[in-house]
């Protein structure tokens, strides 16, 4: 049995203070998101947790509909250089993994995390599931599972926009599915 209040206490204990609950039935998946991965992203085929190493959009949609609760964690950051963001997101992803594990071991067997940024646990991703160095820790991003993060987080009042340069603050999101 899920107790939102108790879960929120856990989020806060891990110093995740900016989050909102989201009905997983309202997670928007779209084919255009996958198209952006296939054409125009240099991580396509290079990382284990990105397309084409992920389920189809319709399978992802089915996956989200299997959950009763989701939490969206919001993170803001401005970086000087694009590559500076990786150290920041890596640290957060590792902290989120600890939280996911704690929630799973508390008895919520479906707990599943979607990373804030592509899995960068290793300095260089091996690129295939067979060669992944930390398969227990690797998780996809919402975008890799076809989530239209823009439409999804706007529904719950979170800010998000296309950025044109690194002078602008990023609004990044991790999702935690729980049941």
Stretch that binds ligand SF4, among 13-21, 22-30, 119-127, 155-163 (CB under 6 A): 119-127
Shortest Å distance, C-beta 49 to ligand SF4: 5
Pick left, alpha or beta for residue 112 (phi over 0 → left; psi -120 to 50 → alpha; otherwise beta): beta
Among 137, 160, 166, 170, the residue binding ligand SF4 under the rule CB under 6 A is 137
Q: What is the DSSP letter of 143?
A: G
- Buried b vs exposed e over 59-79: b needs ≥16 C-beta within 10 Å? ebbebbeebebbbbbbbeeee
Helix axes 57-65, 31-38, angle to 10 degrees: 130
Q: Work out the burial of residue 113: count CB atoms within 10 Å of its CB; fewer than 13 is exposed, 13-18 middle, 19 or more buried.
A: buried
Q: Report the relative pairing of strands 112-114 and 69-77 from DSSP bridges.
A: unpaired
Shortest Å distance, C-beta 48 to ligand SF4: 4
Q: Based on CB atoms, which residue is closest to ligand SF4, 29 or 141?
A: 141
Q: Restricting to residues 33-52, name those near ligand SF4 by CB under 6 A.
A: 47-49
Q: Is 125 in the site for ligand SF4 (CB under 6 A)?
A: yes
Among 133, 159, 168, 169, the residue binding ligand SF4 under the rule CB under 6 A is 133
Q: Is 7 in the site for ligand SF4 (CB under 6 A)?
A: no
Question: Can you give the binding site for ligand SF4, defined by CB under 6 A?
Answer: 47-49, 119-122, 125-126, 132-134, 137-138
């Amino acid at each position: 049995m899920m107790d939102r209040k108790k879960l929120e206490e856990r989020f806060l204990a891990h110093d995740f203070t900016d989050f909102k609950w989201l009905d997983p039935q309202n997670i928007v998946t779209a084919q255009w998101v996958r198209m952006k991965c296939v054409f125009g992203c240099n991580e396509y085929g290079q990382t284990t947790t990105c397309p084409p190493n992920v389920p189809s959009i319709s399978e992802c949609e089915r996956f989200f509909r299997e959950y009763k609760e989701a939490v969206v964690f919001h993170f803001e950051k401005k970086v000087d250089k694009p590559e500076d963001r990786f150290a920041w997101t890596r640290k957060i992803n590792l902290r989120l993994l600890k939280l996911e594990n704690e929630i799973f071991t508390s008895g919520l067997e479906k707990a599943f995390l979607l990373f804030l940024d592509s899995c960068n646990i290793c300095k260089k991703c091996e690129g295939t599931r067979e060669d992944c160095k930390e398969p227990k820790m690797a998780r996809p991003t919402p975008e890799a599972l076809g989530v239209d993060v823009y439409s999804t987080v706007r529904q719950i009042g979170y800010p998000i926009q296309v950025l044109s340069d690194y002078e602008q603050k990023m609004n990044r999101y991790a999702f935690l599915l729980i049941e």
